[in-house]
Chain A
Amino acid sequence: MSGGALPTQVGQLARRSVLRTLRQPAQIVPALIFPLFLLAVNSGGLKDATNLPGFPTDSYLTFALAVPFMQGALFSVMNAGTDLARDIETGFLNRLALTPLRGAALLSGLLAGAVVLGLVQAATYLTVGLIAGAELVTGVPGALTIVALAVSITVAFGSIGLFAALRTGSGEAVQSLFPVFFVFLFISSMALPLDLLQTDWFHAVASANPVSYLLGAFRSLLIEGWDLGALALGFGIAATILVIGMTAASAALKTRLVRT
């Protein structure tokens, strides 16, 4: 037998990845609850920020609603990476390596779980945000675009989790990345728009931080309307991270799987 075709391999591994995700409430629940909790705290505590001249909206909740999508994507780094690291630690990767499995199928299949998690997260954040009173000026097409962008970012970040898992082979090492990524979120336009950041060094760092532009893409759909430049930047950054992540993960997979 020469092995399953690539779509079959991807499909089967995707199925496993999705089943694993759905069967681990401990992966899904924190990724849903924690960002919504921070949204509630921030939108309550920082609502006076809307009085600043130049603030783009009267609703801080609408402005802050972009943040959970990014936080949710950070969870996918941990979840996708930890799952793969566990496969390495338990020897399951060796089992897969003994089949005619292609590396591309393994990585793509593993990211399928991140897609499902991204979909569930994005739909939940958006629904809760709108129920709580957030605005969405682009309507239903905008909501679908937000979900697509959120899933793209989740998958892109998930690829970094896969790389970390393949490079280290350790679930603990993957989990230690989470605070590092969280710092990137905090030194961005998370709390205020870039042009309202008054501290020079913070403004400079946040302007160089890709996370600011990912947030900007969500906010364009929530607050401003169809800004193709902001969307292109958001999807472009997600695609770039995905390409870098998958390239690095593929190289790490070759090193990890030293099969002849």
Chain B
Amino acid sequence: MSDDRERAGIEVEGLVREFKNGPRAVDGIDLRVAPGEIYGFLGPNGAGKSTTVLMLTTLLPPTAGTARVAGFDIVREGPSVRGAIGAALQEAALDPLLSGAEHMRLQTALHGVPKAERGERSAELLSRVGLSEAADRRVAGYSGGMKRRLDLALALVHRPRILFLDEPTTGLDIQSRTALWDEVARLASEDGVTVFLTTQYLEEADALAGRVGIIDHGRIVAEGTPAELKAEIGRPTVEAVPRDPADQERVARALQPFGERCGATHRGGASVLLAGGESQLADVVRALDAEGIAIETLQLHAPSLDDVFLAKTGRSLEGAGEAEAEADSEEMEVVGA
């Protein structure tokens, strides 16, 4: 294999997928993922994320456009692409009647791992994803997190250079999600694996991805590092919650001079987009103090990827509600403590 291909990532130009009697699921996307990079592909359900993954993994021919994965053309060099990639698709496609070890045995054999190495490779990967003890149990008894981890191990048996993960943490609890993030981050940083990760979780893209592409209705509406994208939105939000809920309107009036009002918050406070940025926070504190309002909590919210999505598409990202509710409940516990 040439060095160029060893170093190649993902290059996509004008990729389109049209289904019969349906809209364009993917509508002419362009993107580039550098070798060793974690690229987050963020979008709501039905945006075109999984269709893109199916095309890039050669399981679905594109209607138009071109793409090269690991230096190979996805249409003309399908077998070479498949040899260079690993994939954990949207549903952890496992056989409930087989054990984890039996899955590994099947996958290593089908990928042509030499017989003498299969056992060692399987044990190594099962250990890495924390499934050594459960290796001989049938998958039917695995939790969602265990299935996802086995799915990841199966995708790695042939040491792929590029890994596609399609919503790998959907439905997982926070602990399982974090464990999977750690492993994905390790794969990229230590093993140099290029990761193409689709997700509808904002914090997942934020935590893992070096760069993020936001897709909506089959088109990429924004692309860049999470920091760059948030910087496009620019202004942070300050939220103040009075100790006495009756003071909510007074708080809103006190904040009004600092920027565009966002309205009442669900915690009984008020918030504004700080026109002058976070440097205005001290002035906000002084203004509230001058009004003599007792404040329960005062928080500065940096722009989130959801703000980016909202700015680019005019609506909030599906699933963001869940994630934010989770984050909120943690925040409330800290405040309460």
Contact = CB atoms under 8 A, between A and B. Distances in A.
Interface of A: 1-5, 8-9, 11-13, 15-16, 19-20, 23-24, 87, 90-92, 94-101, 258-260
Nearest to A105: B110
B152 to A, nearest CB: 13
12 contacts: A2-B112, A3-B83, A9-B109, A12-B106, A19-B98, A20-B97, A91-B93, A95-B93, A96-B110, A98-B85, A99-B111, A100-B111
B59 A94 contact: yes
A98 B98 contact: no
Nearest to B78: A260
A223 B142 CA distance: 53
B233 interface: no
* The 10 nearest A-B residue pairs measured at CB: A91-B93, A260-B78, A99-B110, A12-B109, A1-B112, A3-B112, A92-B93, A4-B112, A260-B58, A95-B93
Contacts of B111: 1, 3-4, 99-100
B287 to A, nearest CB: 56
Given A94-B59, A95-B154, A100 B95 contact: no
Contacts of A91: 89-91, 93
Given A4-B112, A258-B59, A260-B58, A100 B79 contact: yes
Contacts of A87: 95
Given A16-B102, A98-B87, A260-B81, 17 more contacts: A4-B110, A8-B112, A12-B109, A19-B102, A20-B97, A90-B94, A91-B89, A91-B91, A94-B93, A95-B93, A98-B85, A98-B86, A99-B111, A101-B110, A260-B58, A260-B61, A260-B75
Contacts of B82: 98-100, 259
Interface string B20-61: 000000000000000000000000000000000000011111
Contacts of A95: 89, 93, 107, 154
B240 interface: no
Contacts of A99: 82, 107, 110-111
A83 to B, nearest CB: 10
Contacts, number: 92
A8 B111 CA distance: 10
A22 to B, nearest CB: 9
A98 B57 contact: yes
Identify which of A3, A5, A98 gathers the most chain B CB atoms within 10 Å of its CB: A98
Contact of B110 (A9, A20, A92): A9
Contacts of B102: 16, 19
**For chain B, what secondary structure do more than half of its interface residues adopt (helix, strand, loop), or is it mixed?**
loop
Interface of B: 57-61, 74-76, 78-79, 81-83, 85-87, 89-91, 93-95, 97-98, 102, 105-107, 109-113, 138, 154, 158
Contacts of B59: 94, 97-98, 258-259
Contact of A20 (B78, B85, B95, B112): B95
A16 B106 contact: yes
A19 B97 contact: yes
A2 B83 contact: yes
B75 A16 contact: no
A100 B112 contact: yes
Given A98-B59, A100-B82, A259-B78, A3 B110 contact: yes
Contacts of B85: 98
A206 B85 CA distance: 54
B60 A8 contact: no
A4 B91 CA distance: 25
Contacts of A2: 83, 112
Identify which of B60, B79, B98, B110 gathers the most chain A CB atoms within 10 Å of its CB: B110
Nearest to B154: A95
Nearest to A8: B109
A3 B82 CA distance: 10
A13 B95 CA distance: 12
A100 B81 CA distance: 11
B113 A1 contact: yes
